[in-house]
Structure 1
Amino acid sequence: MLQLKKAGLKALDNLRSAGLFPSSWQSMEELEAKTDYFLSLFLDERFRVSRELSGVSFLTELLDRVMRTSESEHMDDRKLSEREKLELVRALDRQNQMLRLYPRYVEMLLSIIEETDQGKQQEIRILELASGSGGLSLALAEEARRKNLPLSIVASDIVPIFIEEGNRQAEEKKLPVTFRLINAFEMPEFSSGSFDLMVLSQSIHHFTPGQLAIMIAQSAKQTKTAFVGIDGYRSMLLAGGVPLMATMQGIASFTLDGFISARKFYSELELDIIAEIATGKRNHAITSPWPLSILTVRFDGIKPDVCQPS
């Protein structure tokens, strides 16, 4: 429920047939505008198709519309102090550890890393965007060290205290992770192919379709192997389950953020559309090992087995 695949695929086909799918873009500003506009068109057309299908399809569409929100999480409030933001990020880290999500993310990423390394023992370079205080980057570095995989990680965010906290932990644990203050939409001019892998974990829903498209497009220039985005699966179950789990941290604003976030998760087809607009290709796959949606965009010529939500 809330994926609306049948109506969504029909709506997308209608828009393609009408010549409305964005075929190209010349700047990041144009990419952002075209992506946001087309996703709005898509949702409107999906509503029209769902109404024609009637029954459960239309009821689900109405429910999806009620659930959707553009409200920002408390964590993204510019008025919130850095210390308060760090408290929320630490709560998220604790929740991820409790649910054993980091080991799952690490396992997924290691499969790509090991495929890239192919026993060459060459350093694999990774950039994590919107990393918070680096729970995933640190967990990945620890597991890579255990497996004797050579890698270096740049973890990035726009909140200075996250960078300080991350670098402190990396130094304490003697891990090859460097935290840098980087705006994901205005990344430094890294040389082409500076990284093997670019990762965006548990924060896709914090960004508009156009902003996500920008990150994927920038990744295509600076990453040799793949962009991997990990987030929650859009569903009614998670709409209730995410805030319920968040209550266990005992922080009211964190619980509210959980409710907002679950309402903002992208459907598989929305991620599919964003990736295609950003790259102009079908070199991506969306997989959904419960309770996640994972977008993998390949830049190394290896074509994913699945390029369209099933």
Structure 2
Amino acid sequence: MLQLRTPGYRAIDNLRRQREFPTGWSSMTDLEKQANSFLEAFHRERHEVSRQFGPGFFLPELIDGALRTSKAEHMDMTALSSTRKLQLVRALERLTAMLALNRRYVSFLRNIIIDIAERSGRNARVLELAGGAGGLALALAEEVSHNRLPAEITSSDIVPAYVAEGKETARRKRLPVSFRTLDACSFEGIEPGSIDLVIMAQSLHHFTGGQLAMMIARSKENGAMAFVGIDGFRSLMLAAGVPLMASLQGIPEFTLDGFTSARKFYSEPELDALAEIATGKRDHSVLSRWPLTITAISFDGSHTPAAL
């Protein structure tokens, strides 16, 4: 219901005709500004299109507008102590395990990783952004160890406590995965040409549209062949279901974060537009695999993201 695909894509077409769809950028700062400005224009235009389409489209638009928020989640608050942040990220890892999400993520990524390895003639070098305590990276490392997945895995996050938690888990489980502290928006310290695939899971909604566009562009700039982002499907069902599932952890802040997350999930048209703004091309796919939305972008044009 909250995907609003028909009015969303009509709004994008209208903005193209009005020459309000970005067609180029001069710097990362310019890209961030253009992407954020576009999303503001997109929401205004979609509102108007939905109103013109009639009540069947306008009511979901009004509901979406009422739910949408830019509020930060507790785990993103800089004032929150490391101890409390760890409590929340551990709750997230437990919930992810309970829903077997990492298993699904690995299955989505496997073909792309194998394809990159075959084309490059070496293990695919995978960088996870905003990985928290590294649940997905650890799951991929298990595939490397047990099923010979041809990959070298690195997980990153800007919170040192999360990175330390991931390192300790990898040491305890003897898994081949590296962890590093990294600002996903800047890629500072990443050597150009050192990564083949950039991935994000369950974290796209933590960032503004401009920040997402920068991450995609920096991935390409640093020589990656592809970018894959996986997040929740924007819907009323998940707006209710995510906080309900989060409440099972018995942590009030985590339950609130679940509700905030579901209100911030991006719709397919938004992700589609951001990928095009960042790359200037249409070499990407935005796919729905309930309850997830997957954004897969090819930078070299030599494989099909839709293979996911």
TM-score (norm 1): 0.95
Counterpart-to-counterpart distance in 1, 2:180 and 2:189: 14
Counterpart-to-counterpart distance in 2, 1:223 and 1:175: 26
CA contact (8 A) 2:230 2:294 kept: yes
Counterpart-to-counterpart distance in 1, 2:283 and 2:112: 15
CA contact (8 A) 2:71 2:260 kept: yes
Please tell me the residue identity of whatever aligns with 1:37.
Answer: S
1:247 is matched with which residue? 247
CA contact (8 A) 1:233 1:292 kept: yes
CA contact (8 A) 2:117 2:151 kept: no
Alignment gaps of 5+ in structure 2: none
2:288 is matched with which residue? 288
2:188 is matched with which residue? 188
Where do residues 60-209 of structure 1 align in structure 2 (5 Å cutoff)? 60-118=60-118, 122-209=122-209
Please tell me the residue identity of whatever aligns with 1:204.
Answer: L
**How many residues of Structure 1 are paired with residues of Structure 2 in the alignment?**
306
CA contact (8 A) 1:125 1:194 kept: yes
1:19 is matched with which residue? 19
Counterpart-to-counterpart distance in 2, 1:229 and 1:305: 11
Q: 1:303/1:116 Cα in 2 relative to 1: closer, same or farther (>3 Å)?
A: closer
Q: CA RMSD in A?
A: 1.4
CA contact (8 A) 1:96 1:102 kept: yes
CA contact (8 A) 2:296 2:305 kept: no
SS in 2 for 1:20: coil
CA contact (8 A) 1:155 1:177 kept: yes
CA contact (8 A) 2:297 2:305 kept: no
Counterpart-to-counterpart distance in 2, 1:10 and 1:228: 25
Q: 1:146/1:4 Cα in 2 relative to 1: closer, same or farther (>3 Å)?
A: same
TM-score (norm 2): 0.96
Please tell me the residue identity of whatever aligns with 2:193.
Answer: G
Shift of 1:87: 0.7
1:217 is matched with which residue? 217
Shift of 1:190: 3.0
Deviations 1:219-246 (A, max 9, x none): 0112432101000000000000000000
Answer with 92-101 or 147-156: which moved more.
147-156
Aligned pair 1:297/2:297, yes or no? yes
Counterpart-to-counterpart distance in 2, 1:31 and 1:137: 29
SS in 1 for 2:225: strand
Counterpart-to-counterpart distance in 2, 1:191 and 1:247: 41
Shift of 1:144: 2.1
CA contact (8 A) 1:7 1:46 kept: yes
Deviations 1:130-157 (A, max 9, x none): 1111111001110122111232211111
Aligned pair 1:276/2:276, yes or no? yes
Shift of 1:107: 0.8
Deviations 1:95-132 (A, max 9, x none): 01111101000111111111222398722211101111
Please tell me the residue identity of whatever aligns with 1:38.
Answer: F
SS in 2 for 1:285: strand
CA contact (8 A) 1:199 1:227 kept: yes
Q: 1:204/1:119 Cα in 2 relative to 1: closer, same or farther (>3 Å)?
A: closer
- Between the aligned residues of both structures, percent identity stands at 53
Counterpart-to-counterpart distance in 2, 1:120 and 1:66: 47
Alignment gaps of 5+ in structure 1: none
CA contact (8 A) 2:128 2:137 kept: yes
CA contact (8 A) 2:284 2:297 kept: yes
Counterpart-to-counterpart distance in 1, 2:271 and 2:119: 32
